[in-house]
Amino acid sequence: METVDAVDLELLIARISAGDRLALSLLHAALAGRLYAVARRVLRSHECAQEIVCDVFIHVWQRSADYDASRGTVVGWLCMAARNRAIDRLRSHRRHIAHKPYDADPEWEMAEPPHAALVQFQEGISVHAAMSILSPLRQQLLALAFFDELTHEQIADRVALPLGTVKSHLRRALRSMRGSLGACRPVELECLAAPP
């Protein structure tokens, strides 16, 4: 993969500040692997590291205007964001474990059973993993269709592609995700007790 220089990354951040989703996809393609490595070193969990990467790119989308080139590079800014989020996740997990045993907390009775929460968490991870193997264009089209709830015609106007091309990309993206998600199985609860 071609490396992206610091100037290009700063231009991508400026485009993201202006609401350019394609720039966000390009930034993700350029830096997701590096951010994943940072988070994985702290958390030692593939799934949690993937979630941290998603969190960082959501942060970039929402707060890209906060980037200040005089304080460091885009890579440094995002790696620090990934590291800080990973450390926060680790601390939060440790506090939760040390807080109270399951049986001692009456609020657990009202909450969702732990197994159901685990399945829901895994399904979210599976969707992120299935999305990550799609091309940036297909990711963008799915986001416009499902998150922004745009019609095919509106998407075609937004991305300046023919309607048939948009429909074809969406159909193939959904088929790919269906295949990826069909292959996923929930992790058995026994593996939670085993050390990583």
Q: Is the pLDDT of residue 70 over 80?
A: yes
3-state secondary structure 160-195: CCCHHHHHHHHHHHHHHHHHHHHCCCCCCCHHHHCC
Place of tokens 């939060």: 92
Structure confidence at residue 179 (pLDDT)? 77
Share of the chain above pLDDT 90, in %: 32
User: Are the CB atoms for 87 and 41 separated by under 8 Å?
Assistant: no
Q: What is the pLDDT of residues 51-69, one digit of tens each?
A: 999 999 999 999 999 898 8
Structural domains of the chain, ranges and CATH numbers in brackets: 1-99 (1.10.1740.10), 101-189 (1.10.10.10)
Three-state DSSP string of 98-165: HHCCHHHCCHHHHCCCHHHHHHHHHHHHHHHHHHHCCCHHHHHHHHHHHHCCCCHHHHHHHHCCCHHH
User: What span, in angstroms and rounded, lies between the C-alpha atoms of 40 and 46?
Assistant: 6
Mean pLDDT over 107-112 rounds to: 43
HSE-up of residue 63 (Cα within 13 Å, Cβ side): 12
Mean pLDDT lowest among 84-93, 96-105, 138-147: 96-105
Residue 80: phi and psi, rounded to 5, are -65, -40
Residue 76 or residue 146, greater confidence: 76
- Smallest CA-to-CA distance from 135 within 107, 190, 173 is with 173
Give the DSSP H or E segment for 53.
helix 46-63
Distance of CA 176 to the CA centre of its chain: 18
Per the prediction, the chain carries an average pLDDT of 77
Express each pLDDT in 159-196 by its tens digit: 898 999 999 999 998 888 777 766 544 433 333 333 33
